[in-house]
Amino acid sequence: MTIRGYFSNLDIGWTNAAVGLGVAVVSFIAIHGAVHLFRLRLDKLDDARAHKPIVDVLRHTLARTSNLAILATSLLIGASVLDLPPPWNQRIGHLWFITLGAQLAVYLHHAIAVAARRYFRVHGKGREDDQVTVAHTLVIWAMQWSVWTVFLLAMLSNLGIDVTTFVASLGIGGVAVALAVQNILGDLFASLAIATDKPFEVGDAISVPEFFGTIEHVGLKTTRIRALSGEQIVIANAELLRKTVHNFKRQHTRRVQYTLRVNPATPADVAAQVPERLSAIIAAKEKVRPDHVNLTTMDQNYLEYDIVYNLSDVDYGLFLRTQQAVLLETMQMLRELGISTAPRPQELLLQQDAANDAGARRPDGRGTPQARPAH
């Protein structure tokens, strides 16, 4: 069919055509002016801190308004006032969907980019490295491609094309690919989770059940950790996230707890002086806040004190120096109070077996004693 034959069923008078063209021109001016005024209004609201994130996203999104989309929308508005036969009404409806859908997809495409980058910049504390940049880019691309895929499928469906088989094929293909590379995808998504949630960063000292070390590099598939013994540990991201990770760099205070055992023969009045004097020793140390010193256990073997204090500085060297000073002064205090840390002495009872006395004699005539356990 020729172009002339294609449009041969249109019967539009000059008056109707002039009205449609006028409506299209007015619509173009109105839409273009409205977008321009709205952008000016957003620029004035840019200083409002409470709404700045939303304003920033809207301003950058509206900046992507296509003049071609405005022109197409204006022509469609003008065409809507024409007296068109039924087939053309349906075709114009398809054009409306394509035009508005494409512009909406463009808006969402840029809104995702602006909003995601702002979120990553704010929550990432301004820190950017290659791994973080790649992870953020992959997240943005995935969301943008999802928008365009949905738009393409919706457009084909609006044009009367059955997309059910196509969607099913995409689903089956996606499942097949996912099964084939599930380990790689698992590590990749774990890398994205590390980049966005940031349970740890490069330079953090972490501990997991199997090892302790410092993060050196977080890649798309593996994380490299320098162990205390010097070797480098390479572990898959997904496996690392399945473990319980202790991040010592984010430790704000250090809690120190230990026990002190003394001889159970210590007099009660002397044992009662230990908590007060030991608390004074701990409180005198720099950056230390005592928690408690209490006698918690008393049995036939020892008296046990439970000691707890908190360091406001998590430096490990400070902890070692403080603990050493506390222990040395505790030894001096126990010596002054006359308290021994030796356990209760054990007694061994030696008993001669009378039944074997006649047959087990020493050269000097005395019997050979045999050891029996004490009761």
pLDDT of residue 6: 42
pLDDT band for position 307 (50/70/90)? very high
Instruction: State both tokens at 260.
Output: 């002190």
Percentage of residues in the chain having pLDDT higher than 90 = 21
Which among 120, 136, 122, 119 has a CA at the least distance from the CA of 220? 136
For 346-358, the pLDDT digits (tens) are 777 777 665 555 5
CA-to-CA distance for 331 and 335, rounded, in angstroms?
Answer: 6
Instruction: State both tokens at 290.
Output: 């005592």
CA distances from 35 to 66, 179, 224 (A): 11, 47, 50
Beta-carbon contacts of 229 under 8 Å, excluding residues fewer than 6 positions away, are none
pLDDT of residue 366: 54
Name the amino acid, one letter, at 358: A
Mean pLDDT of 195-207: 84
* 217 DSSP β-pair partners: 224
Name the amino acid, one letter, at 258: Y
Of residues 5 and 182, more confidence is placed in 182
pLDDT of residue 363: 53
pLDDT of residue 78: 75
Mean pLDDT of 134-163: 76
pLDDT band for position 9 (50/70/90)? low
pLDDT of residue 115: 79
Of residues 122 and 346, more confidence is placed in 346
Residue 125, pLDDT > 60, answer: no
Instruction: State both tokens at 215.
Output: 């993060």
Across 182-186, 206-210, 272-276, the highest mean pLDDT is recorded for 272-276
CA-to-CA distance for 325 and 319, rounded, in angstroms?
Answer: 10
pLDDT of residue 47: 53
Residue 371, pLDDT > 70, answer: no
Which among 169, 60, 74 has a CA at the least distance from the CA of 118? 60
Name the amino acid, one letter, at 36: H
φ/ψ of residue 205, rounded to 5: -90, 120
Beta-carbon contacts of 193 under 8 Å, excluding residues fewer than 6 positions away, are 241
3-state helix, strand, coil in the chain (%, to 5): 55, 15, 30
For 311-326, the pLDDT digits (tens) are 998 888 889 999 999 9
CA-to-CA distance for 224 and 239, rounded, in angstroms?
Answer: 13
Mean pLDDT of 359-366: 53
pLDDT of residue 333: 94
Percentage of residues in the chain having pLDDT higher than 70 = 73
pLDDT band for position 365 (50/70/90)? low
Q: Return mean pLDDT, the chain.
A: 77
> Is residue 59 packed enough to be buried (19+ CB in 10 Å), middle (13-18) or exposed (0-12)?
middle
pLDDT of residue 126: 47
